[in-house]
Structure 1
Amino acid sequence: MNSKSFIGIYGLGVMGKNLASNLAGKNYPISVYNRSAKGEEDLVKQFAAQHKDKDQVLAFDQINDFIDSLDFPRKILLMVPSSVVEEVIDSLTPLMEKDDILIDGGNSHYQQTERLGSKLAAQGIKFLGMGVSGGARGALTGPSLMPGGDLGSYQLVEKMLADIAATDTQGKPCVTYIGSGGAGHFVKTLHNGIEYGEMQLLAEVHHLLNQSMSHQEIADLLDQWNKTDLNSYLLGATAKILRKKEGEHHLIDFIEDQASSKGTGVWSSTMAMEAGEPATIMTAAVFARHTSFLKSERLYLSVNNPSRPEGFRNVKIDLFALEQAYRMVRWLNHHQGFELIRKKSEQQGWNIHLGQLSRIWTNGCIIKSKLMASCVDLLATQDNLFRDQKILNLLFESRTSLADVVIKSVKSQVPIPAFSTALQYWDAMTEKRSSASIIQAQRDFFGAHTYRRTDDDPLRTHHTNWDTND
């Protein structure tokens, strides 16, 4: 056995512990350490006890011993909350040397990753910001990994990452170099943004159908869908959730209707706004979660709503129309996510390959699906799903079904914000002349912001004195 470990894992929360176990299972010599935090005092001892049969696993409760146990160049995978990443890095760098490598495997904001990368580079320390998807189970059995940052450092750990990652249908590891700087953490954030949209759509499907169908009947329907091109990890998970019982009662009926969210969902929406991309579906999903937390206000308004008497709802949804609408909105959600990635990649010079990105999202991650598998070939030679005629035909043909579902929900006062905003987005995208000419005229009226004319040089701007008819 090499007396030094190949890599150190700093942070033994659920994800860190499972990634460390994944590495140990692949016979990598590893060292583990956990910072002192309330309730986490025994994590190192517990991990050591679980792996006492593996002499290549070294556990430490002293940071200096942990650092000294690593082979050169030292490689440390940080699995700590993004809020403490910089604090942890600042505590480690005095103990590190030139060309050592730090890997941030948490859900950090890409701008923080870029700033920390520059800060570490000035000290001669290499940095990778790596998105990790798949949840606790994926971390243990094979996640989807999205490393970005220093290319040379990635090449030093490429084989290790490939060994612990999930594999696609061709047996290739679900990991690829994303791009420089914060590219890895950026695409992980957008992965989660797409995930928000997917989760919200399924919640809305259930909310619509549960007006007239039982949880069991809805689960049966979702299982049927899951045998088609709609197959996805989240679809299967939702069906299992609806079947889960405690005694004679479905567990879902006892779960509070307030959905929390972490930073990545909000970040996805703000990144879209900053980039000028209408990622409306994931943003609607974020606002739906925020609305769910206004519980006391919702209860007050629901009791005092004269237009919704008791027993008002009797929603009968055409299941074929709902299936078509769900399929359509999922394509729109993925398109919006990939468009934001494409635009940001161009702005940052990351050169992200969308075909490879979709490939590593076909397994080991929360948004794996047959739709994502289709994107691998669709995005191999082009970077816009709307350029594929089959996808366009599907979208045009499904619009009536989506409209029917939205109209039914509006009449029945069943809120489905992701479906609704998807319809508005599609209608706006297929409208030859938008309403924005009025906006531009208004801006010029009160702020002299100028406007461009359709009958003149498109680069020339104009201003009008709107208070006269001359």
Structure 2
Amino acid sequence: MADIDNDQVHDVEIGIVGSGSMGAGMTLLFSQNGSRIACYDYDADAVKTLMKEAKEDENVDENLVHGYTSLDKLVSSFPKDQGKRRILVLSLPHGQTADKILDELLPRLEKDDIIIDGGNEWWAETERRQAKAKEKGVEWVGMGVSGGYQAARHGPSMSPGCTKEAWEYLKPYLEKWSAKTKNGEPCVLHIGPGGSGHYVKMIHNGIEHAHLSILCEARSILRYQLEYTNQEISNLFESWWKEGPLRGNFLVGIGFKGLRFEEGDGIKNKEGIVEDIEDKVTQDVDKSEGTGTWSTKEIAERHVAAPAIAAAHQLRIISADKFERLDVAKNLQLPQPSRAKEADLSKEEKDNLLNTVHTAVYGAILGAFVQGLNIIARASKDQEWGVSLADCIKIWRSGCIIQSDAIAEFLIPLLEPFPPSEPLNLLRSIPEIGKELAKTFEAQKTLCRIALDTDAVAPALNASLDYLKQVNCKTLPTSFEEMELDYFGHHNYDIRGKTEKGSKKGNYHTEFSRMPGV
């Protein structure tokens, strides 16, 4: 391990730009796998901290890690061998920071060098930067990196969006660094061209937000409406994680472990530190993370129904400002969530109810997968990316937040027969998925009924149930809405039995204002 900027090597394989938690994790991961790494950050303290971590990590050869605060030294640390391309991995915030580093790097790079943007980024911005880099002959790869800072250290799920040629060059590296399934399969595949890699990661995070909301709502009902202790809920979640339809679900797994913590940073509570953690989620609202907002934007702009994802985002918004919420509650003076009558059930009855809760949560989580995959399918068709939904599930089998082993085993064989070019609505194209969700319908109704009766907050659970009700309903209440739209806006309507396929505007219009008595 070298002191920063005091020496110069010329044989690094990978350059890492950004030495924060994600960049540091990737530096240690890559070097642990035998790659010589040059890490760069304008903040000398960040580089020093990273190099100290490399020295102290028994799994890392400190001699493979070199730190710089000079971009020139970073770029010149690569070998001069003909045919050897520089690979630079960016671990930076989205937006202007990435543009600034691109402008600084391009004059220093050569044709065929590769820049991998491993941060979360809006897919259209990725494509803009790809076009700019292409003018110099440089490949800009938009790559989603899933799993948080711990996965960045131990092996993330990765979704690169780039040319096939760039993928073939990067493939040996990415497969070496990625998370692996239990069978040793790398959790990285070529997602498609352009911004497809960042798009898939964005929707991964949208699904993640829905799953987080579903689980926190279910845990709250179990704790406060059904009066289970956190230890009992932890044991329940552990049983879900070990077997059944939520087997191997990452969030259920960390949930049962987290509920057992009685001491944390600034907290000590025998009932579990979760009891003293404030009920506010600021991520997205504070603009530190954009993927939840972008996912919700895509739901609207792609015209794809994904209510659980949207509801989860709304709950975050409402939760973020605690003092504002308390002031609103003073004005509303509505009942607060209360104890459920089901808390008085016999042990046998409560055991049956817990099975129902298990089924309901599974149905909501599976439904969020379906909704997210439908968004990806629509975007892939619109942008002509050719994204394989089966491949999305394959790379989500390890190293990511929405890993769910049993669900992956269920979905992959159903998705594999469909070519990437074929647009999918999963509930229309794959009857088996609809039948599986239908099995959870009554359980979801029961859980939502408990929430309704007790005024418990359960937006994602209710949205998941309502989604099934809406897509299943042969006659929706929207004929009245269509009539009124035509009344005030001349929006036209279709006539029952004469409707054309698709979502085109109707052919009929009535001049309501000319009718007698109107």
TM-score strictly above 0.5: yes
Counterpart residue identity of residue 155, structure 1 = E
Deviation at 1:49, TM superposition (A): 4.6
Q: Which residue of 2 aligns with 1:8?
A: 15
- Name the CA shift for 1:230/1:35 in 2 (closer, same or farther; >3 Å): same
Specify which of 410, 414, 428 is matched with residue 452 of structure 2. Answer: 410
* Residue 339 in structure 1 maps to residue 396 in structure 2: no
In structure 2, distance between residues paired with 1:341 and 1:356: 12
Q: Which residue of 1 aligns with 2:137?
A: 124
* Residue 108 in structure 1 maps to residue 121 in structure 2: yes
1:14-413 correspondence runs (5 A): 14-36=21-43, 40=46, 42-43=48-49, 45-46=51-52, 49-50=55-56, 53-71=61-79, 72-83=84-95, 84-211=97-224, 212-228=227-243, 229-231=245-247, 232-246=249-263, 249=270, 250-261=272-283, 262-302=289-329, 308=335, 312-314=338-340, 316=342, 318-369=353-404, 370-382=406-418, 383-386=424-427, 387-413=429-455
Counterpart residue identity of residue 218, structure 1 = I
Preserved CA contact (<8 Å) 1:22 1:141: yes
Counterpart residue identity of residue 34, structure 2 = N
- Name the CA shift for 1:158/1:359 in 2 (closer, same or farther; >3 Å): same
In structure 2, distance between residues paired with 1:248 and 1:419: 29
Counterpart residue identity of residue 496, structure 2 = T
Kindly tell me the number of residue pairs found equivalent between the two proteins. Answer: 467
In structure 1, distance between residues paired with 2:332 and 2:92: 46
Counterpart residue identity of residue 46, structure 2 = E
Listed one character per residue, the Cα deviations across residues 380-403 of structure 1 (whole Å, up to 9, x for unaligned) are: 114554344443333223212211
1:337 is paired with a residue of what secondary structure? helix
* Residue 445 in structure 1 maps to residue 467 in structure 2: no
Counterpart residue identity of residue 435, structure 2 = N
Larger mean CA deviation between 20-29 and 393-402 belongs to 393-402
In structure 2, distance between residues paired with 1:469 and 1:422: 42
2:242 is paired with a residue of what secondary structure? coil
Preserved CA contact (<8 Å) 2:41 2:69: yes
2:439 is paired with a residue of what secondary structure? helix
Preserved CA contact (<8 Å) 2:269 2:276: no
Listed one character per residue, the Cα deviations across residues 403-432 of structure 1 (whole Å, up to 9, x for unaligned) are: 121122111110100111111111110011
Deviation at 1:258, TM superposition (A): 0.3
Identical counterparts, % of pairs: 30
* Residue 466 in structure 1 maps to residue 494 in structure 2: no
In structure 2, distance between residues paired with 1:47 and 1:133: 22
Larger mean CA deviation between 349-358 and 399-408 belongs to 399-408
- Name the CA shift for 1:15/1:426 in 2 (closer, same or farther; >3 Å): same
Larger mean CA deviation between 235-244 and 388-397 belongs to 388-397
1:77 is paired with a residue of what secondary structure? strand
Deviation at 1:301, TM superposition (A): 4.8
Deviation at 1:131, TM superposition (A): 0.4
- Name the CA shift for 1:457/1:408 in 2 (closer, same or farther; >3 Å): closer
- Name the CA shift for 1:444/1:101 in 2 (closer, same or farther; >3 Å): same
In structure 1, distance between residues paired with 2:311 and 2:234: 24
1:59 is paired with a residue of what secondary structure? strand
Deviation at 1:307, TM superposition (A): 5.2
In structure 2, distance between residues paired with 1:326 and 1:276: 26
Specify which of 489, 493, 496 is matched with residue 454 of structure 1. Answer: 496
Deviation at 1:375, TM superposition (A): 1.7
Counterpart residue identity of residue 376, structure 1 = I
Deviation at 1:315, TM superposition (A): 5.2
Deviation at 1:40, TM superposition (A): 3.4
Preserved CA contact (<8 Å) 1:8 1:66: yes
Counterpart residue identity of residue 72, structure 2 = N
Deviation at 1:267, TM superposition (A): 0.8
In structure 2, distance between residues paired with 1:298 and 1:4: 56
TM-score (norm 1): 0.93
TM-score (norm 2): 0.85
2:160 is paired with a residue of what secondary structure? strand
2:358 is paired with a residue of what secondary structure? helix
In structure 1, distance between residues paired with 2:282 and 2:334: 29
In the alignment, structure 2 segments of 5+ residues that lack a partner are: 1-8, 284-288, 344-352, 419-423
- Name the CA shift for 1:12/1:439 in 2 (closer, same or farther; >3 Å): same
- Name the CA shift for 1:435/1:28 in 2 (closer, same or farther; >3 Å): same
Tell me the C-alpha RMSD between the 2 structures: 2.3
1:82 is paired with a residue of what secondary structure? coil
Preserved CA contact (<8 Å) 1:34 1:44: no
Preserved CA contact (<8 Å) 2:340 2:453: no
Counterpart residue identity of residue 281, structure 1 = A
In structure 2, distance between residues paired with 1:397 and 1:192: 26
- Name the CA shift for 1:411/1:64 in 2 (closer, same or farther; >3 Å): same
1:243 is paired with a residue of what secondary structure? coil
In the alignment, structure 1 segments of 5+ residues that lack a partner are: none
Counterpart residue identity of residue 92, structure 2 = V
In structure 2, distance between residues paired with 1:30 and 1:233: 30
Deviation at 1:450, TM superposition (A): 2.2
Counterpart residue identity of residue 397, structure 2 = T
Counterpart residue identity of residue 246, structure 2 = L
Deviation at 1:264, TM superposition (A): 0.6
